[in-house]
Amino acid sequence: MALLEVDQLRVEFLTRNGTLTAVDDVSLKIEEGEVLGVVGESGAGKSMTGNAIIGLLEPPGRIAGGEIRLDGQRIDNLPYEKMRKIRGAEIGAIFQDPLTSLNPLYSVGQQLVETIRTHSDVGLAAARSRALELLNEVGIPAASQRIDHFPHQFSGGMRQRVVIALALSANPRLIIADEPTTALDVSIQAQIIALLKRLCRDHGTAVMLVTHDMGVIAETADRVAVMYAGRIAEIGPVADVIKHAKHPYTDGLMGSIPVVGQQTERLAQIEGAMPRLTAIPDGCAFNPRCPKAFDKCRQTRPDPIASGAGEVACWLIEQEAHHG
């Protein structure tokens, strides 16, 4: 049994103009200690998937279908208080902007101690020494002084290190890292990714790493999921997906893989733009941009089917299966 199983997840927004489906029948698994990269253009539904997993979808967004299981236990329908105890302790999260993720009114030590004591029954002194340990572990220089400093006294990279320390402070088994370096200076992005990778390997923590950076995926992830218009286009071992992309969209994405940490044009090698949620075409959502589209693509929607070690949602794969 995988650590996390997402099964046919559907996230909807009730708006004045009807119901928008931001995440549509997404299924994925994350094994203990595994890094799953998630890529896709802006608006593909990556953050909504992550938010649904930690139970922090903001209204009017809601889970409209499917199941999310941790160790085989459903967590998508837990009451708030039960889910709260899972957040931080079992599933941690790191968000995009380290500058705004920390409360400006508390020292980093206070925020660490509060989180540690929320999830385990330890005294103030023990929590503080654990906090100090964590700050050392994430590489804050002079941690014993810095522990009493406030967020505004840290640079962006240092703040993201503090955020990582906070996310790890209750030893979660899975971390959802949603573009953890996008807001940072290019020069420190690689450092932060390396730190995250090392810490999670040391602690045996699984990671769902959302990013626009294919280089980071290539370096860090074990498997990768490619999302397009709220659905998974392709998911599989990172080497397979990068070297032998089966979905035409993935193929386009892999056009050029930049060096780690280098911010290239955001996955924009493919002509055209991803459709808005209000105007998703019939059939395969990618068909207006797909160089290989044929009649069937414009009529019927392909579902992910097994192909090699992964899954691909494309009619070409089905054809191959039939003919080859």
Positions touching Mg ion (CB under 5 A) are 47
DSSP β-ladder status, 91-94 and 174-178 = parallel
What dihedral angle (degrees, nearest 10) is formed by the CA atoms of 50, 205, 184, 165?
Answer: 110
Q: Which residues pair with 36 in a beta bridge?
A: 208, 223
Q: How far is CA 112 from the centre of its chain?
A: 23
Contact yes or no for 190/155 (Cβ under 8 A): no
Q: What residue 170 binds from ligand SF4, ligand ATP, another protein, none (CB within 5 to 8 A, per partner kind)?
A: another protein
Residues 227-266 that bind ligand SF4 (CB under 6 A): 247-249
Closest CB 249 distance from ligand SF4, rounded Å: 6
Binding mask of the shown chain, residues 61 to 90, with x at each position contacting ligand SF4 by CB under 6 A? ------------------------------
Nearer to ligand ATP, 43 or 157 (CB): 43
At 239 the three-state DSSP class reads helix
Residue nearer to ligand SF4 on the CB measure, 75 or 227: 227
Place of tokens 């056009």: 255
SS (H, E, C) 161-209: HHHHHHHHCCCCCEEEEECCCCCCCHHHHHHHHHHHHHHHHHHCCEEEE
Q: Shortest Cβ distance from residue 43 to ligand SF4 (Å)?
A: 18
The SS3 assignment for 231 reads strand
Binding mask 106-145 for another protein (x = CB under 8 A): -x------xx--xx--------------------xxx---
**In the bound complex, what is the minimum distance in angstroms from residue 215's beta carbon to ligand ATP?**
16
Interface residues with ligand ATP (CB under 6 A) are: 13, 15, 20, 22, 40, 42-48, 61, 277
Q: What residue ranges bind ligand SF4 (CB under 6 A)?
A: 247-249, 284, 286-287, 290, 292-293, 297, 302, 314-316
